[in-house]
């Protein structure tokens, strides 16, 4: 068999480890030929590819980013690298010309949607869930999330220094437009006093009261962790908006930090490296068994898979019943 592999959407720790997991298993265990497709679906439109050998897959396990390059090209949307052509038809033609029996798509929600649409047109597709946001339906965790949480937790730990020394409120903004997984996990692991996520609405007076109550109890500083997608006045970034509102409410000096792309860069954690290796290996197992149109999943500690049409277009969001929210609230942490 001759398979193609691409990475699409935002970069994320563990992509290279997944490429390694897929390709080494495909080449060494199954004797497949592997073609790397550059820059996501863009490379499928322009036939920008390279041939992989076991040697070209060395040094990838702990490497950040994606050695294949990525793009946000959406072949079912008009605009992109090529216009005025039927992009899905062009992909089908190129896949045929490249002699690919299957394409492994590594990506987030947008990628899963495209993968599902290509599969529905009859292409052989297997996908792997990738995102620091952890919001892909059907899998408990996507690789990249643990690394992002680890980076964000370290940042929160460090903010404690300035918060306690200067008796300030420190607001940190982490990624997550629609889903607050990074804010929830890093906020709890970093000992945040207030955690705000897009899924749970907040009342600024409650937040002010929480911070002033801490002051009354001899804790003159607070850590506030916010996801970038929480409700604001629409003009300012989440951290800036919340910091200003808190200072107004409490009169306590408040500073904000936006973690940004730091949480997407660099080396994956050991958990993500092993998850990537397992998911990558399972992807080749699906191909070998001709089980196409599926995304690899993690359920509990079991690697499995689910049909792409069941996953595409859905988001996995935090709920009020999540154990970290329930236990956090009982401990006095404010979720809004």
**Residue 146 interacting with ligand F6P (CB under 6 A):** no
294 labelled as ligand-binding? no
Binding-site member from 44, 175, 184, 225 for ligand F6P (CB under 6 A): 175
Helix (H, G, I), strand (E, B) or coil at 308: helix
CA 229, 231, 237, 243 torsion: positive or negative? negative
Which residue, 177 or 299, is less far from ligand F6P as judged by CB? 177
Stretch that binds ligand F6P, among 128-136, 158-166, 250-258, 328-336 (CB under 6 A): 128-136
* Nearest-angstrom CA–CA distance, 175 and 247: 23
Nearest by Cα to 102 from 311, 327, 283: 283
What is the DSSP code (8-state) at residue 33? Answer: E
Q: What is the CA radius of gyration of the chain?
A: 22
Name the catalytic one among 11, 54, 86, 133.
133
Helix (H) or strand (E) holding 223: strand 222-227
Is 54 among the annotated ligand-binding positions? Answer: no
Contact segment (CB under 6 A) with ligand F6P among 22-30, 125-133, 151-159, 205-213 equals 125-133
Neighbours of 141 (CB within 10 A): 19
163 or 238: CB nearest ligand F6P: 238
Min CB(227)–ligand F6P separation in Å: 9
Q: Which residues lie below 8 Å from residue 85, measured CB to CB, with a gap of 6+?
A: none
Question: Is residue 186 within the footprint of ligand F6P (CB under 6 A)?
Answer: no
Known binding residue 180? Answer is: no
Site for ligand F6P in 40-69 (CB under 6 A): none
Interface size with ligand F6P, residues (CB under 6 A)? 10
Secondary structure class of 290 (helix, strand, coil) = coil
In the region spanning residues 289 to 318, those forming contacts with ligand F6P, defined by CB under 6 A, are none
Residue whose tokens read 């949607």: 113
Residue 295, marked binder: no
Asked if residue 72 belongs to a known ligand binding site, the reply is yes
Catalytic residue list contains 133: yes
Instruction: Tell me if 336 sits within 8 A of 162, measured CB to CB.
Output: no
Q: Is residue 180 a contact residue for ligand F6P (CB under 6 A)?
A: no
- Residue 151 interacts with ligand F6P (CB under 6 A)? no
Question: Phi and psi of 225, rounded to 5°?
Answer: -110, 125
In this structure, are residues 147 and 326 in contact, taking their beta carbons and an 8 Å threshold? no
Q: Round to whole Å and give the CA distance between 178 and 70.
A: 22
Closest approach of Cβ 133 to ligand F6P, in Å?
5
- Residues marked active site are found at 133
Name the residues that contact ligand F6P, by CB under 6 A.
Answer: 10, 108, 131-133, 175-177, 228, 264
Could you list the residues known to form a binding site for substrate, using ranges: 131-133, 168, 175-177, 228, 255, 261-264
Could you list the residues known to form a binding site, using ranges: 10, 72-73, 108-111, 131-133, 168, 175-177, 228, 255, 261-264
């Amino acid at each position: 068999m001759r398979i193609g592999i691409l990475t699409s959407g935002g970069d994320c720790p563990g992509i290279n480890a997944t490429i390694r997991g897929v390709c080494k298993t495909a080449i060494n265990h199954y004797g497949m030929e592997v073609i790397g497709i550059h820059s996501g679906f863009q490379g499928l439109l322009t036939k920008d590819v390279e041939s992989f050998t076991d040697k070209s897959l060395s040094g990838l396990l702990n490497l950040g980013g994606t050695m294949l390059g990525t793009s946000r090209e959406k072949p079912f949307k008009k605009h992109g690298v090529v216009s005025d052509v039927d992009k899905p038809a062009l992909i089908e033609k190129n896949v045929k010309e490249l002699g690919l029996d299957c394409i492994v798509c590594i990506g987030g929600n947008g990628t899963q949607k495209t993968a599902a649409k290509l599969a529905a047109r009859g292409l052989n597709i297997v996908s792997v869930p990738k995102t620091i946001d952890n919001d892909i339906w059907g899998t408990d965790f996507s690789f990249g999330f643990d690394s992002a949480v680890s980076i964000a937790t370290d940042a929160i730990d460090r903010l404690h220094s300035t918060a306690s020394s200067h008796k300030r409120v420190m607001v940190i903004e982490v990624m997550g437009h629609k889903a607050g997984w990074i804010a929830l996990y890093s906020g709890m692991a970093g000992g945040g006093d207030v955690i705000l996520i897009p899924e749970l609405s907040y009342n600024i007076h409650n937040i002010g009261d929480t911070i002033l109550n801490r002051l009354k109890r001899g804790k003159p500083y607070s850590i506030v962790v916010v996801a970038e997608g929480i409700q604001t006045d629409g003009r300012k970034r989440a951290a800036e908006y919340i910091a200003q509102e808190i200072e107004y409410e409490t009169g306590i000096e408040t500073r904000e930090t936006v973690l940004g792309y730091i949480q997407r860069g660099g080396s994956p954690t050991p958990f993500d490296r092993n998850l990537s290796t397992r998911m990558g290996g399972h992807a080749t197992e699906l191909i070998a068994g001709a089980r196409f149109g599926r995304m690899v999943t993690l359920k509990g500690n079991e690697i499995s898979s689910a049909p792409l049409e069941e996953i595409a277009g859905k988001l996995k969001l935090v709920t009020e019943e999540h154990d970290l929210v329930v236990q956090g609230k009982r401990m006095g942490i404010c979720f809004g």
